[in-house]
A = this chain, B = another copy of it.
Amino acid sequence: MKTLTYAEENYLKAIYHISEAGKKGVSTNDIAAAMQTKPASVSDMLRKLSNKKVIEYRKYYGVHITEEGKKYALQTIRKHRLWEVFLVEKLHFTWDEVHEVADELEHIKSAILIQRLDEYLGYPKFDPHGDPIPDEYGDVKARPRLPLSEIEINGTGQIVAVKDSSAAFLRYLDKVGAYIGARIKVLDKVEFDGSVEILVDNKKKIFMSREVAGNVLVMV
């Protein structure tokens, strides 16, 4: 069991997320953008992470996360998402308020704390944004999901996650009446601008632009 610093955990988490999205080598620039830092700082860190064998690093050719690195990344993600559940379900945070706080809480080291928290929350499988919570071995239950924009007319499903979980986007969703867990039906799709009309929970009709619908993930 290696000990990673906060910064190392954050970089590893970012690298994991980027490689999950793209499925190939992750570039220094992408990491710098995700971490809101400079490429030079990223190069420094990649050397450190490589020494700790949590990534494979070939200069100028981007990085791949190792199996061991994935394990650490998933532990951090597990902690982050469990704390998000806690904040929303127990402390009544709204789902757009939890991110920053969970980003701090995810680094608390105690293993027993996370085990007890998990138990206390009733072993949740998904966080408030609909993202799956890895179990203590790093296994994730993936849901089959599609962007709302790709569901055909009269297709139904349940909103299970969002791609862009920025506070602004989440607030916007709440405002128009969409939320994780909402049952939806696509009533109409406008050809020329790609916007969709959907029915939420069989009672509320709302419109969404192609941009928004592309960021809302639905389990069909």
Task: Say if the beta carbon of A117 comes within 8 Å of chain B.
Answer: yes
Scoring A residues 62 to 100 as 1 if CB is less than 8 Å from chain B, else 0, what string do you get?
A: 000000000000000000000000010011110001001
Expressed in whole angstroms, the Cα–Cα distance for A113 and B116 within the complex equals 19
Binds B, one of A103-111, A131-139, A188-196: A103-111
Task: Say if the beta carbon of A61 comes within 8 Å of chain B.
Answer: no
User: Is the beta-carbon distance between A101 and B93 smaller than 8 angstroms?
Assistant: no
Task: Say if the beta carbon of A120 comes within 8 Å of chain B.
Answer: yes
Expressed in whole angstroms, the Cα–Cα distance for A120 and B90 within the complex equals 8
Expressed in whole angstroms, the Cα–Cα distance for A217 and B87 within the complex equals 35
Residues of B within 8 A of A112 (CB): 93, 97
User: Is the beta-carbon distance between A101 and B108 smaller than 8 angstroms?
Assistant: yes
Expressed in whole angstroms, the Cα–Cα distance for A69 and B79 within the complex equals 33
Residues of B within 8 A of A105 (CB): 105, 108
Asked, given contacts A101-B113, A113-B101, whether A91 binds B108 with beta carbons under 8 Å apart, the answer is no
- Minimum Cβ distance to chain B for residue A192 (Å): 44
- Minimum Cβ distance to chain B for residue A88 (Å): 11
User: Is the beta-carbon distance between A100 and B104 smaller than 8 angstroms?
Assistant: no
Residues of B within 8 A of A100 (CB): 110
Please name 5 further chain A to chain B contacts, defined as beta carbons within 8 Å, in addition to the given A90-B120, A93-B116, A105-B105, sorted by A numbering. A91-B113, A101-B110, A104-B108, A104-B110, A105-B108
